[in-house]
Structure 1
Amino acid sequence: MATAAKRPRAEGTSGGGDKPLLAFLNWCREVGLELSPKVSVSREGTVSGYGMVALEDVQRGELLFVVPRAVLLSQKTTSIRGLLEKEHGALQSQSGWVPLLLALLYEYLAEDSPWKGYFSLWPELGSLRHPMFWSEEERKQLLQGTGVPEAVERDLASISYEYGTIVLPFLEAHPDVFPLQAQSLELYRQLVAMVMAYSFQEPLEEEEEEEEEPNPPMMVPAADILNHVANHNANLEYSPECLKMVATQPIPKGQEIFNTYGQMANWQLIHMYGFAEPYPGNTNDSADIQMATVRAAALQGATTEAETRLLGERWDFLCQLEMVGEEGAFVIGREEVITEEELSATLKVLCMPAKEFRQLKKRDSWEEDGENSLILTNKTIPKLKASWKVLLRNSTLLTLQAYATDLKSDQELLHNKEARAKLSWKEEQALQVRYGQKRILHQLLELTSS
């Protein structure tokens, strides 16, 4: 994905021949969704599909567009909100997305939906690029070791279960509301991908954060047009009457306006949104070392049955402290360990002398000391105890073994223009995900070698 855009055509109507865009812009005027005259919605000058481009210089703090709350599409604004409220108890799920998905299903299929103009700019549902729509073989071949295939398998299982146990019975119970074509697992899966890629969740107020469940997702027309880069130049602000997209830095004429989807690693971007940022653009990229992999690396150093048994005790102790879990991962960023508290505690407990561990187990609480609170960065990791570095290095080596390719082959492919030009879109995106992770892991190898 590029970081700058080409100059768009005037007025943002792609020469007047883009009927979906014209329908969307007309709909915006009808519902009071106000676009600044300084911005244009267009395919030209954007990195992917439709996007928003500056027609004039935009200053930091300037308003780019305003979305009235009545225009938002959610379980509270849909035409079937009364039915969803009535059946609220039956629509509870682990994801919390079912009410919105049913609202989308109804409005998307309804000929007279108030959001018909909004849907005109949606991508074709059959052309979505999330890995959940790749073949299992493609995911395994291209994304092995990245964590994406496992995340997709969990998603597909969850979607199928949610559809079969909650959604389909609801659709069958209301044939007067939903047409027969709504009873489609594939359509439901496509709408899940749309919610993953295009929905927004309004943040809770600070005083609500500990007590309340997260706000349910909602669709925000116009805001979901903006593409993402880590170094974004716009941000969505929430107020009681409306949502506002505001410039967070000056945007020169002709440049694309980017929102942020959050601090997302490339594997999260490809998984949830269907794209990755080319190296080295994603400053939020990270690599995971599975917690179970660290345990496996520690087991490699156990030479007797007693040492193996003691390692099991250490691991159980860390589980009790909620520092590790069977499916958890330590997250390694480009400059620092993001899960530094969990990783430093794990290294400490797994590497401390047996006598010291016995004493630790007898304490009533986990007492912080200088080592536990150590911030793990590229500057501090080389200064760790030798035993910590050995365990971290061995864990990294085991992690790298999970990939189908090595760093050198990916690097050669990345810099070979002729070979890279022959890559399919999926192969290119997967290459970016793998390469970014391996660069971080190899950097960790260097930091733990001194």
Structure 2
Amino acid sequence: MDDYMQPARAFLDWFRACPGTTFHDDIEIVDLRARGAGRGIVAKRDIPVDTVLFTIPRKTIISATTSELATFIPSIVQGAGEDKEGEDEEGDDEDDDDSSKQDPWTSLILIMIYEFLRGAQSPWKPYFDVLPAVFDTPMFWGDEELKALQASPVVGRVGRAEADEMIRTKVLPVVRAHSAIFFDKAGIAPLDDDALVQLAHRMGSTIMAYSFSLEKDEDEDEEKEKADGEGEDVDMKDGEDEDHEHEHEHEHGPGCDHDHEDDDDDSNAGWVEDKDDQLPLGMVPMADMLNADAECNAHIAHGVDALTATAVRPIRAGDEILNYYGPLSNGELLRRYGYTTEKHAFFDAVDVPWALIQSHLAEQMHLLPAEAAKAADAVDVDEFEDPVMLDRDFDEDEETGQLKAPEGMSVVLTELPQTLRRQARAFAKVALRQQQKRREKALANAPKSKQTGKNGKNDKTHAPKTEKEVVAAGLVGALSARLAEYSTSLQADEELFNSGSVPAGSRLHAALRVRIGEKRLLTEAVVLAKAMLAEAKAEAKAEAKADKAASKTKKNDRRGEDDDQPSGKRQKR
């Protein structure tokens, strides 16, 4: 008999035996490999909305407040939050070095390493048995595999080197300084540095995929505010959907994650960058068994003493219970979890660096680098965005967890982002004003003979474009250049993706889905920018025609006035 489900059964028995846990009788953990997924939870009978599916007491969570490691090395918890007095806790001298002052990420990595090395001695051993041992995120891809992502911003966010550096400077020194706690106490031989780094990477990736940011339940004020047991929603993540066939990475089912929309951080260090959220992190058993998708039927909420999974809409018998990843693009989904889904295309996004946009705007105005830099320094825009993000249009029902494209929409992008247009207009306005001042100053200082062109008229050969023309033409150039950074066309990618020749769930399949979503956005953005340029040119042409007509009328009026004046000379008789 296939023993694939045996670890899950042992885990469920362990979970139910933990004080305070609940697991609804109408749900069960099942083998979903036939759907291209791993393990998951399905409804055995119809489940009404608002049904509590399972309950996870906080004391069941792996965290700095539940693992005994914090009692042996108190300083590892300091980085997760300041103590009540705002001062470092007194301890042994060896704990006072910088490597012992941890942030929530490295603190939990150390705790996970400790509990993992304990094996059967750890109270969470059955939980570790259902966590993945191998991850398929781009951090573990080879160079050739990464090339399949082409110009996707995902490539710049892998951060393997940064993760290595953090592990070697913040994790290894603590483990080595407390070898007796990590190894002797567990009855095992110390790991060498390479093996320890690999284990730390595994734990870091596990935390990325499955952890929560935990509210500080010891805060008395928060306890009063949440006396009814209700709290804020927590974004959950999964490891698979029906189209994902990784039987090695996420075969143990989906995971969860802490609040993830902190991607404004420019560190680009893979899972390292997400450590900037300074709330304590924890690993939440049973939440990991829920698969998830962009459309969900359940959510996780924080309570004072427990986390609860609740149905957000009616669930039919046989349906899988799905949690919510959060609004992650397929690129971000791939970076964090190593796979993509069809429905997460609703959240697809691609960045356009402001430097690229600015350079094309400057080109339209024939600005020298110094002139462009001066204009950029003078731009005053609230909440300046760099890079500027393009994302698609969709409607979302937050209460039922459902998504849909707007009625009758045949494209993924209906307008250029307001931020993009606002910043481009602000730069063009400043640059054109500065350019006009320079032109007027040069004209005033030039000899009179140089101030006019042929026939004594002002030289209009290099008349400046209108602000709208500059902005539109600059955006066409920048967006086209960004799209050209990808080495294949959107059409070629779509044909390959739909040909069936690329195995679903493979790394190439995931890379194709990511770059297709990004190219669709850029392609449609170019179309919108070109339409914007055509409109700007039409307006400029109409204005020029109107100005010409007004000038002609004014000239004729002057001639008429001259004809009415008495002649300055009399003809001889």
**TM above 0.5, one fold?**
yes
What residue number does 1:367 align with?
none
What residue number does 1:115 align with?
124
1:20 aligned onto 2:7: yes
Once residues 410 and 301 of structure 1 are traced to their aligned partners in structure 2, the CA distance between those partners, rounded to angstroms, is 32
1:285 aligned onto 2:348: yes
1:331–1:339 CA contact under 8 A, matched in 2? no
Once residues 168 and 281 of structure 1 are traced to their aligned partners in structure 2, the CA distance between those partners, rounded to angstroms, is 37
Superposition map of 1:363-442 within 5 A: 385-417=468-500, 419-421=501-503, 425-442=506-523
What residue number does 2:106 align with?
98
What is the deviation of 1:138?
Answer: 1.2
Once residues 326 and 415 of structure 2 are traced to their aligned partners in structure 1, the CA distance between those partners, rounded to angstroms, is 15
What is the deviation of 1:59?
Answer: 1.8
What residue number does 1:150 align with?
156
Query: What's the % identity of the aligned pairs?
Result: 28
1:309 aligned onto 2:370: yes
Q: 1:96 to 1:295 in 2, by over 3 A?
A: farther
Aligned residue for 2:56, secondary structure, equals strand
What residue number does 1:242 align with?
306
Superposition map of 1:188-199 within 5 A: 188-199=200-211
Q: 1:300 to 1:121 in 2, by over 3 A?
A: same
Superposition map of 1:35-434 within 5 A: 35-44=23-32, 47-87=36-76, 88=78, 90=98, 91-92=100-101, 96-111=104-119, 112-123=121-132, 125=133, 127-139=134-146, 141-152=147-158, 155-179=159-183, 180-181=190-191, 183=193, 184-202=196-214, 214-278=278-342, 281-305=344-368, 308-318=369-379, 323-324=384-385, 328-335=386-393, 340=417, 342-352=419-429, 354=431, 356=433, 385-417=468-500, 419-421=501-503, 425-434=506-515
2:361–2:424 CA contact under 8 A, matched in 1? no
Once residues 393 and 136 of structure 1 are traced to their aligned partners in structure 2, the CA distance between those partners, rounded to angstroms, is 32
Aligned residue for 2:182, secondary structure, equals coil
Q: 1:301 to 1:96 in 2, by over 3 A?
A: farther
Once residues 341 and 505 of structure 2 are traced to their aligned partners in structure 1, the CA distance between those partners, rounded to angstroms, is 16
What is the deviation of 1:40?
Answer: 1.4
Amino acid corresponding to residue 31 of structure 2 in structure 1: R
Once residues 337 and 151 of structure 1 are traced to their aligned partners in structure 2, the CA distance between those partners, rounded to angstroms, is 28
What residue number does 1:445 align with?
526
Once residues 406 and 302 of structure 1 are traced to their aligned partners in structure 2, the CA distance between those partners, rounded to angstroms, is 30
2:61–2:285 CA contact under 8 A, matched in 1? yes
| Deviation per residue, 1:355-384 (Å, 9 max, x gap) | 64699xxxxxxxxxxxxxxxxxxxxxxxx9
Q: 1:156 to 1:420 in 2, by over 3 A?
A: closer
* Pairwise CA RMSD: 3.1
Once residues 313 and 329 of structure 1 are traced to their aligned partners in structure 2, the CA distance between those partners, rounded to angstroms, is 20
2:339–2:510 CA contact under 8 A, matched in 1? yes
Amino acid corresponding to residue 30 of structure 2 in structure 1: S
Amino acid corresponding to residue 29 of structure 1 in structure 2: R
| Deviation per residue, 1:194-218 (Å, 9 max, x gap) | 1111111136879x99xx9641221
| Deviation per residue, 1:66-95 (Å, 9 max, x gap) | 0011101112211212234334364445x6
Once residues 444 and 339 of structure 1 are traced to their aligned partners in structure 2, the CA distance between those partners, rounded to angstroms, is 6
| Deviation per residue, 1:96-132 (Å, 9 max, x gap) | 4011010000011112100001111112x2x211111
Once residues 320 and 346 of structure 1 are traced to their aligned partners in structure 2, the CA distance between those partners, rounded to angstroms, is 7
Alignment TM-score, normalising by the size of structure 1: 0.80
Amino acid corresponding to residue 35 of structure 1 in structure 2: F
Alignment TM-score, normalising by the size of structure 2: 0.64
Once residues 416 and 201 of structure 2 are traced to their aligned partners in structure 1, the CA distance between those partners, rounded to angstroms, is 32
Once residues 413 and 243 of structure 1 are traced to their aligned partners in structure 2, the CA distance between those partners, rounded to angstroms, is 44
| Deviation per residue, 1:293-343 (Å, 9 max, x gap) | 2123224324353xx32221222344996615xxx3111111279995643
| Deviation per residue, 1:235-281 (Å, 9 max, x gap) | 11010110001111222111111111211111110001111112x55
Amino acid corresponding to residue 522 of structure 2 in structure 1: L
Once residues 523 and 355 of structure 2 are traced to their aligned partners in structure 1, the CA distance between those partners, rounded to angstroms, is 20
What is the deviation of 1:393?
Answer: 2.3
Q: 1:347 to 1:122 in 2, by over 3 A?
A: same
Once residues 228 and 215 of structure 1 are traced to their aligned partners in structure 2, the CA distance between those partners, rounded to angstroms, is 24
Once residues 293 and 355 of structure 1 are traced to their aligned partners in structure 2, the CA distance between those partners, rounded to angstroms, is 19
Q: 1:173 to 1:15 in 2, by over 3 A?
A: closer
Aligned residue for 1:448, secondary structure, equals helix
1:46–1:52 CA contact under 8 A, matched in 2? no
Once residues 71 and 314 of structure 1 are traced to their aligned partners in structure 2, the CA distance between those partners, rounded to angstroms, is 57
Q: Aligned pairs, how many?
A: 397
Q: 1:387 to 1:84 in 2, by over 3 A?
A: farther
What is the deviation of 1:52?
Answer: 1.4
Q: 1:273 to 1:389 in 2, by over 3 A?
A: same
Q: 1:357 to 1:41 in 2, by over 3 A?
A: farther
1:46–1:256 CA contact under 8 A, matched in 2? no
Once residues 329 and 337 of structure 1 are traced to their aligned partners in structure 2, the CA distance between those partners, rounded to angstroms, is 20
Q: 1:244 to 1:304 in 2, by over 3 A?
A: closer
Larger Rg: 2
Q: 1:353 to 1:69 in 2, by over 3 A?
A: closer
Once residues 197 and 216 of structure 1 are traced to their aligned partners in structure 2, the CA distance between those partners, rounded to angstroms, is 16
